[in-house]
Amino acid sequence: MRARIGVVGFALGLAACQRPPSFADAARLVFEGGGEWVDLTHPFSSRTIYWPTARPFTLEVVAAGRTPAGYYYAANNISAAEHGGTHLDAPIHFAEGRRTADAIPVRQLVGPAAVVDVSDSAAANPVYLATVADFARWERAHGRIPDGAIVLLRTGWAARWPDRLRYLGTAKTGLTAVAELRFPGLDPEAARWLVEARAVDAVGLDTPSIDHGPSTDYRSHRTLFAADIPVFENVAALDRLPEVGAYVVALPMKIGGGSGGPLRVVGVLPR
């Protein structure tokens, strides 16, 4: 497992010139109540956005009312595809023999956030690909992306949720809709750079896919997953996280053999 060190400049009440916080520092922040929690998860409902070819989320009410004994009881059945809403892509999704959803170490899903803001570029170009130059800019401002970081691309796309047309580029469903997808993503060369030049534990973003909408070869998926780096997609509220200073806790449904699954992801900030 990669060593976990903090992001240069992460506050925790320390001056930027002091040492970066350890994983233990983050644990104290989380468990001793000194941090502010930010929910980065879109709710699952009939409005949740799924890939055009995926089965959407459905909730079937089984019970919601008073029982003959007089107490209230509620229960539902749910069903959906693995990949939709705020969710995990496990490496097995595009890399044979790599980790399934249940096999990803929990520690790999918790770590300091490096939030790379490409929202201006994405606003100008709805199929923008975040590049190595974007990461270089981040590092000039904040120092090297630390080992064990969770890199989060902020494209601004979460503000379009849950409008399918604005978020996906099409309101259609089925195979014919895939060719009409339009949203930003991660350049495959930047994905390769993260794998070969840095040692990140996970990558996430606020769009439906780490590969941008027009992709047909899904090279960013394939590159990250070959290195057993999981991906978080449809992440919400990244505008509430600073570029440095947050820790991320991303816990997916533990689906045995799964290629992904629903994800509850939160950020924690020093007060």
Domains by residue range for the chain, with CATH: 23-55+82-270 (3.50.30.50)
**pLDDT class for 14, splitting at 50, 70, 90?**
very low
Q: Is the dihedral of CA 178, 180, 183, 184 positive or negative?
A: positive
Span 23-52, average pLDDT: 84
Helix, strand and coil in the chain, % to nearest 5: 25, 25, 50
Nearest in space to 214 (alpha carbons), one of 128, 107, 152: 128
On the 0-12 / 13-18 / 19+ scale of CB atoms within 10 A, 181 is: buried
Nearest in space to 210 (alpha carbons), one of 264, 129, 148, 271: 129
- Say if residue 225's pLDDT is above 80: yes
Hey, which bits of 82-143 come out as E strands? 87-89, 110-117, 129-130
Q: Which residue in the block uniquely carries the two structure tokens 């490409």? A: 118
Which residues are CB-neighbours of 211 under 8 A, at least 6 positions away?
A: 185, 186, 188, 218, 219, 220, 221
Q: Which residue has the higher pLDDT, 269 or 159?
A: 159
Nearest in space to 143 (alpha carbons), one of 185, 104, 107, 114: 114
On the 0-12 / 13-18 / 19+ scale of CB atoms within 10 A, 174 is: exposed
- Say if residue 42's pLDDT is above 60: yes
Mean pLDDT across the chain: 91
- Say if residue 13's pLDDT is above 70: no
Nearest in space to 214 (alpha carbons), one of 240, 182, 257, 262: 182
- Say if residue 113's pLDDT is above 90: yes
94 in helix, strand or coil? coil
- Say if residue 5's pLDDT is above 80: no
